Structure 1
């Protein structure tokens, strides 16, 4: 049975932040990459890309989720997204992997998920300003991407590092192949 990786889409999601990971995961026959939105209806990315998700939140079965990927977008800062609260909390409690980049890290901070794990975001000061209830300052890592246990976080300027952490967590490729992929897309270095 294929492992299911779900990507949550919403109006205004940051399309570039998940652009690198999608094609690589989709090529691997061990995984199903499933895009979903709250209703399953078309959403429009920040870049104007109109996408019809595969499914809706209501059709998603928590037991099927191997990993949940949350792209950034200003909706997180505005606290406009709350319909996935139960899903995210339950996945976290079950030890499932949750990967959040940019504004989606603010959301994890709101839920208290970052309080006891190493993590990163766009900037510690900004995270604290946007999420006054955030309590994970002592675990903040000034890095582009960080994985601790089953939580992956990344700065909004780090879609390649974000993808790399996801590839490592899913064991999508060998460490050597992941490093070669990273060097190619980050630094333009081609190696056989």
Structure 2
């Protein structure tokens, strides 16, 4: 069984987290059965961007990072306090651990800024929220990142994406990294994507 750590910051977007639980959950029950998602946060209760309250299964201080095979991080809103958690040392240290072990790291939208802040994207290709009114690409560039104008960017074991609309694609790409193209096609078919 491959365990995926779903790392949640206060102020995360629920839809960006739910794609990981849904796609990897469908795989667990209807695909090859090899994936299990564990939702983890800095505290016992988190508030999503739109005030949806979530209780993660575990807190960062109650897990052993070594037992996980991949990391998934949804983005969120500054106005909802996302960066207070996402830029904290405990959060960044989780990212650094997965990078040191070269395990898959999948981020959606502005979650790539936490990857940038952690230092793991320096000199690498990545993207982030790319709406013309946003300054997030410039912010990511300031972390030494080679900005790519693509919806999804994979650089080795790291996935970044440009907006919430990429969420399902990112989760399917993570599933492919953990299983196979054939298995992803099967899960997509069952979920109505093919």
TM-score normalised per structure 1? 0.81
Indicate which of 83, 105, 129 corresponds to 2:138.
Answer: 129
What is the root-mean-square deviation in Å for CA atoms of aligned residues?
2.6
| Contact 2:104/2:174 (<8 A) preserved | no
Do the aligned residues in 2 keep the contact of 1:101 with 1:155 (CA within 8 Å)?
yes
The match for 1:161 among 169, 182, 194 is 169
Q: In structure 2, do the counterparts of structure 1 residues 77 and 37 end up closer, same or farther at CA, with 3 Å as the change threshold? A: closer
Equivalenced residue count is: 181
Give 5+ residue unaligned stretches, structure 2.
Answer: none
Q: Mark the CA change 1:115 to 1:178 in structure 2 (over 3 Å): closer, same or farther.
A: farther
More helix per residue: 2
- Give me the TM-score of the superposition, normalised by structure 2: 0.80
- Residue 149 (str. 1) matches residue 148 (str. 2): no
Q: Deviations over 1:108-151 (max 9, x none)?
A: 112222223332211397235334632122xx322211222110
Change over 3 Å in CA distance of 1:53–1:32 after alignment to 2: same
Q: Structure 1 runs of 4+ off > 4 angstroms? A: 75-78, 178-182
Q: Distance in 1 between matches of 2:177 and 2:81?
A: 27
Report whether the alignment pairs 1:17 with 2:24. Answer: no
Distance 1:24 1:79, change over 3 A: closer
Q: What does residue 101 of structure 2 align with?
A: 94
Secondary structure of the corresponding residue to residue 4 of structure 2 = strand
Deviation at 1:178?
A: 5.8
Secondary structure in 2 aligned to 1:152? strand
Task: Give matches, 1:37-76, under 5 Å.
Answer: 37-39=41-43, 41-75=44-78
Q: What is the CA–CA distance in structure 1 between the aligned matches of 2:154 and 2:76, rounded to whole Å?
A: 21
Shift of 1:30: 1.7
- Unaligned runs of 5+ residues in structure 1 are 186-190
Question: 2:169 is paired with a residue of what secondary structure?
Answer: helix
Counterparts of 2:34 and 2:186, CA distance in 1: 17
Which of 106, 109, 114 aligns to 1:107? It is 114
